[in-house]
Amino acid sequence: GAGVSQTPSNKVTEKGKYVELRCDPISGHTALYWYRQSLGQGPEFLIYFQGTGAADDSGLPNDRFFAVRPEGSVSTLKIQRTERGDSAVYLCASRSTSGTGELFFGEGSRLTVL
Amino acid sequence: KQEVTQIPAALSVPEGENLVLNCSFTDSAIYNLQWFRQDPGKGLTSLLLIQSSQREQTSGRLNASLDKSSGRSTLYIAASQPGDSATYLCAVTGNQFYFGTGTSLTVIP
């Protein structure tokens, strides 16, 4: 696609529920990143994929968070047993590993856990 | 771990002024440095990318410089306009991208 696409743009859920957030990167971009951003803060790294594999998942806060990218394109961030502290904007970004390495972001998915 | 700091946290200037935003980082072993703009409730828009072998990049009224040895980058905005009001974030690339907390800029008409 022309840009990084994230769905849903907004998600309101209840504490304890399961949530999936989807990211469709720019076509041909092999590197995909998930970040989390709280109000007034910079993006916080969660996980980085190179192709289908998670090259670095050191930013995932705990085992309730999991992400997949089975075909090396679309990625899904999965959050189990959501907590109020998970409320944030979840940002996805992609970049080509050739060329300049410029990072491109989607508009984000705003998650609110009640 | 790489630490990125942006100063000032907030800045308010009258329209037409030139201004400088600062970004500092603790580990000089970086690949790239990228400046982004973020409008309220929106994602990040890439403004400029400086590769580690470069010293500066320019796009329109924006000029970004990079001094790896001192761990610093500046974003210069010439002739500021109210439409420049946004949060500006810098990110440095090692194995991943490390972000500062941003500078919130308000340009007063």
**What is the structure's pLDDT at A10?**
97
Number of inter-chain CB pairs under 8 A, A vs B: 59
Given a cut of 80, is residue A92 above it in pLDDT? Answer: yes
Taking the alpha carbons of B3, A46, A96, B89 in that order, is the dihedral positive or negative?
Answer: negative
**What is the structure's pLDDT at B96?**
80
Pick the residue of A37, A44, A58 with the most B CBs within 10 A to test the interface with B by mutation.
A37
Mean pLDDT, all residues of chain B = 94
d(CA B104, CA B109): 16
pLDDT-derived band at A1, boundaries 50, 70, 90: low
Of B41, B43, B96, the CB nearest to A106: B43
Name, in order, each residue with C-beta under 8 angstroms of A15's C-beta and a sequence gap of 6 or more. Answer: A82, A83, A84, A113, A114
Tens digit of pLDDT for each residue in B32-83? 999 999 999 889 999 999 998 899 999 999 999 999 999 999 999 999 999 9
Give the gap in angstroms from C-alpha A61 to the nearest C-alpha of chain B: 16
Name, in order, each residue with C-beta under 8 angstroms of B82's C-beta and a sequence gap of 6 or more. Answer: B15, B107, B108, B109
Find chain B residues with C-beta within 8 A of A45's C-beta: 96-98
Percent of chain A surpassing pLDDT 90: 87
**What is the structure's pLDDT at A50?**
92
